[in-house]
Amino acid sequence: MRVPGIRNLTMGLIVLLAVAACQSRPSAVGPELRERAVQELQQVMDQQEYWVKVHAAEYKIWLDYTEGVRETFQQEEEKWEQSSPYRIGVWRVLAQSDLTSRESYVNKIIRAFEDRDGPDRVHAAETLAKLGESLANSSPEITREVLEGQVNSLYVYTLWSTLQGREPNGAGEKLPELALDSGLDEILRLQAAYALRNEGGFSEDTWERVAKSGLQEQQGSLPRVYLLSAALIHAPEEKRNDPVFEKVKEALLDLKNSPSKGERMEMAYALGKAGNPEDLPVLIDLLENKHPILPEGEQATSGMKEAINADVRAAGAFGILMLDRRQVYSLAWADWLVVVAYLAGMVGVGYYFSRKNKSEKDYYLGGGKMNPVAVGLSLFATLLSSLSYLSYPGEMVKYGPVIFSGVLIFPLVYYVVGWFLIPRFMKLRVTSAYEILEINLGVSIRVLATFFFLSLRFLWMGTIIFITVHTAILAIFGFDPSYTLILSVLLMGITIFYTTLGGLKAVVFTDVIQSGVLMGGAVLTLLVVTFSFGSVSAWFPSEWLAHWGELKVGVDARERMTIGNALLTTFVWYLASSGSDQMSIQRFLATENAQTARKTFGVSLLTTFVVQTLLGLVGLAVLAYFTAFPHFLSPGETVATHADQLFPKFIRVGLPVGISGLVAAGILAAAMSSLSSGLNSTSSVISEDLIKRFTRNYRAPKNQLGAVRNLSLFVGIFALLLSLLISKVEGNLYDVIVKVVNLFVSPLFVLFFLALFVPFATARGTFLGGIGSVAIAVAIAFFKFLGIEVLFILPVSLGVGVLLGMVFSFMDVKMLGNKETMLKRSREAAIFKASTEIDRKT
């Protein structure tokens, strides 16, 4: 299956990649400065004591340079657990660095707050607010008592804590009023302004008041620096070109040589959070201690002087590294050229094959004599999709390799599908797989299967569009989220164009290309990470990571994932998809016989095994990469909380220029591969199972290809509209896929299982079994029925559906006397077919 010009396209891409290698992505903070800042934080944490040590440790945690923090402060806890209020700082650090024990440390801090005569209640309230813990929830009575009492430090920090866990209403109303109340004690105003700086989220009007108040405060005023800092960090976007904003920043920069440690530290914090690369010289001066603070007086010992300046140096290091985290990376022009060239090539393929299609059979089945290897690669690309390509690395990052153990069941999958399902399909040689259901169980079951299939595929295509745009395109290409709809239309439009032109031949050909791009993208990622670390062993984990949770082997429906669950879920998914999905059966029927169809399925499984292994390794690689180089993560992102975004982000920031564009094109390729297959098979089912079956006096249109192309266009538009609703589904990427995409997989196979393997199955019993299967799938996915985990939807809904179908069918035959069983109908159909064949020959 050769396409003229494909060699020229390949050579063009190679030339583009060679030119792109000359480009680079500049960074404001170079590797040497970054390393100096990281080392400074480590040195301050190791060598200083008390709160200076706490500050350096927290900077490291917030920047994801967490190495050694937990171990260091576990030792601090042993030494200072009875020392107030320093112990609160130690617990605060441990609550952030030791997430498995966070609750126990939070409880210790709460008990310190609840001790009315305790020496560190104020520090406890402040710490709980910083940790995002609401005292209104954990200690409501004492909190009410404090807030009804006098306005003091405990009042301010307790008020701040009560804002945690609410809807994002920012600083509320009271904090700004306290910070701006000129009649209040300066210490309390400072504390309120500090809380305001941390909380943010205030209105534009409040921002104006905070900014102007900070500018009007006298030099040396205690709340001044925190009011200025709050105004700089939380300025509304439309105010960042305002003269007031510029004055706020100038006032903060004037503090670079302030004799106050607190003012220098706060300036560094604010510049790190909201400054720009032009502010780096100021932060470097702090890091290098160009203008040391020299406190005077009898108590100003050399150790105190060192601690004060160490605190400032650590703050300067934090500001530099936070600016580094806020670096915006984007694709280079060569990356864009690679993507455009690829998409243009896909459109060209569609146009080429449009001239090869002469009939409806050519369009839907490729003439029925397509190459089994090519069709197998196409089946792999279809079943993998961009959903798997994006979700598998994220699943590995967040939960570990358990899910990938499912590939161990592939030999059994191949045997069951290849020798029990495929031969039955190949004997019938139908255009739509759901004709089988009508032959064996009647029209009602075929209609129900059509409804299940269309629901499944429309949700599947809608999810592909939504996740490809939101997780990949926005992350890789850096588009503003407001362009989501336009990008979705463009993605689907290109797919519709080349699919409706070329039919199954175009789908299979582009799938073969896209399979290579997918695997190549995964391999390139592994090579780049290995080169960055120096070896594979340097990034491959030597032990089970703590955030993956406990490794479990058995089958347990109430556990998110065990090895037994992975094996069972994988087996059921492949069995159900291969035995009921028009997209799979369509490809079996596109080959010459059962042997070639079996080969097709074997190629698909083998390729899937290779790519799942690669994607699992990709997950480990990007996990190691962003753990070692956390400056590439945006502020607030961690490897655990943003696991699904790590691979797309790596494509943009980790791969060489040009290669980023190629892998980005690979993700678009995966999406378009699956969407094109969905368009083709879905329009086939609508045509065969709905239009032709239920249209009275149906007459084939003169231009059959034009009609089916219009139908594919309608399918694509409907899927595009459906993608807008997927954002309403809760859960991370993998959970959303399981909830939405796999909802109808098992219910659909329930119908085929009963129609093929249960002789006494009746239409009414099968119908009820299918409906019951859907009901239990919905109950598990969206209502946590009996505490069953969402990943157990497939086996439970399959088992329940088959059991109900058999029970209701048995009752239908034995109690209601229904004689129209599957066995009887299939025999009658075989007799009718044989007599028709005899009549035709005679």
Residues 412 and 542 placed together within one structural domain of the fold: yes
Indicate the SS3 state at residue 667: helix
Give the model's confidence band at 74: pLDDT under 50 very low, under 70 low, under 90 confident, else very high: very high
Q: Which segment, 267-271, 273-277, 717-721, is predicted with the most confidence on average?
A: 267-271
Give the model's confidence band at 99: pLDDT under 50 very low, under 70 low, under 90 confident, else very high: confident
Strand spans (E) along 428-475: none
Residues 45 and 100 placed together within one structural domain of the fold: no
Residues 289 and 356 placed together within one structural domain of the fold: no
pLDDT in tens, 457-492: 888 888 888 888 887 788 787 777 777 778 888 877
Quote the number of domains for the chain.
Answer: 4
- Tokens in use for 132? 């995002």
Residues 6+ apart with CB under 8 A from 315: 55, 59, 264, 265, 268, 269, 286
The mean pLDDT value for 727-733 works out to: 71
- Tokens in use for 98? 């030791």
Eight-state DSSP code of residue 541: -
Bigger pLDDT: 657 or 601?
601
For the chain, give the mean pLDDT.
Answer: 81
Give the model's confidence band at 296: pLDDT under 50 very low, under 70 low, under 90 confident, else very high: low
Residues 6+ apart with CB under 8 A from 357: 363, 502, 503, 505, 705
Residues 291 and 359 placed together within one structural domain of the fold: no
Residues 750 and 624 placed together within one structural domain of the fold: no
Domain boundary among 323, 354, 388: 323
pLDDT in tens, 229-252: 999 999 888 888 889 999 999 999
Residues 494 and 461 placed together within one structural domain of the fold: yes
pLDDT in tens, 757-774: 888 999 999 999 999 999
Distance in angstroms (rounded) separating the CA atoms of residues 388 and 842: 53
What local confidence, expressed as pLDDT, does residue 170 receive? Answer: 47
Q: Which one-letter amino acid corresponds to residue 314?
A: A
Q: Rounded to 5 degrees, what are φ and ψ at 780?
A: -75, -45
Q: What is the CATH number of the domain that holds 518?
A: 1.20.1730.10
Bigger pLDDT: 349 or 60?
60
Distance in angstroms (rounded) separating the CA atoms of residues 240 and 703: 60
Domain boundary among 663, 697, 731: 697
The mean pLDDT value for 710-720 works out to: 76
Tell me the pTM: 0.77
Q: Which one-letter amino acid corresponds to residue 159?
A: L
Q: Count Cβ atoms below 10 Å from residue 650 Cβ, excluding itself.
A: 25
Residue 85 lies in a domain: yes
Angle separating helix axes 204-216 and 243-253, nearest 10 degrees: 40
The mean pLDDT value for 83-102 works out to: 89
Residues 6+ apart with CB under 8 A from 6: 345
Characterise 280 by phi-psi region: left (phi > 0), alpha (psi -120 to 50), beta (else): alpha
pLDDT for 149 beyond 70:
yes
Residues 768 and 662 placed together within one structural domain of the fold: no
Residue 29 lies in a domain: no
Q: Are 468 and 671 in contact (CB under 8 A)?
A: yes
Residue 11 lies in a domain: no
Residue 455 lies in a domain: yes
Domain boundary among 166, 189, 208: 166
Residues 402 and 539 placed together within one structural domain of the fold: yes
Residues 449 and 575 placed together within one structural domain of the fold: yes
Residue 469 belongs to domain spanning: 337-672+687-697
User: What CA–CA distances, in Å, run from 185 to 156, 214, 617?
Assistant: 12, 16, 58
The least confident of 191-205, 405-419, 486-500, 614-628 is 486-500
Residues 392 and 534 placed together within one structural domain of the fold: yes
Cα-based torsion angle of the residue sequence 188, 193, 198, 200 in order, rounded to the nearest 10 degrees: 130
Give the model's confidence band at 362: pLDDT under 50 very low, under 70 low, under 90 confident, else very high: very low
Residue 705 lies in a domain: no
The answer to whether the peptide bond before residue 85 is cis (omega within 30 degrees of 0) is yes
| Length of the chain, in residues | 842
Residue 617 lies in a domain: yes
Residues 354 and 283 placed together within one structural domain of the fold: no
- Tokens in use for 256? 């670079």
The mean pLDDT value for 28-36 works out to: 88
Give the model's confidence band at 367: pLDDT under 50 very low, under 70 low, under 90 confident, else very high: very low
Bigger pLDDT: 788 or 842?
788
pLDDT in tens, 332-357: 777 888 778 776 776 666 666 655 54
Distance in angstroms (rounded) separating the CA atoms of residues 500 and 712: 6
Residue 254 lies in a domain: no
The mean pLDDT value for 415-438 works out to: 78
pLDDT in tens, 320-329: 999 998 888 8
Distance in angstroms (rounded) separating the CA atoms of residues 435 and 454: 15
Residues 639 and 748 placed together within one structural domain of the fold: no
Distance in angstroms (rounded) separating the CA atoms of residues 47 and 141: 41
Residue 584 CA, distance from chain mean position: 27
Residue 726 lies in a domain: no
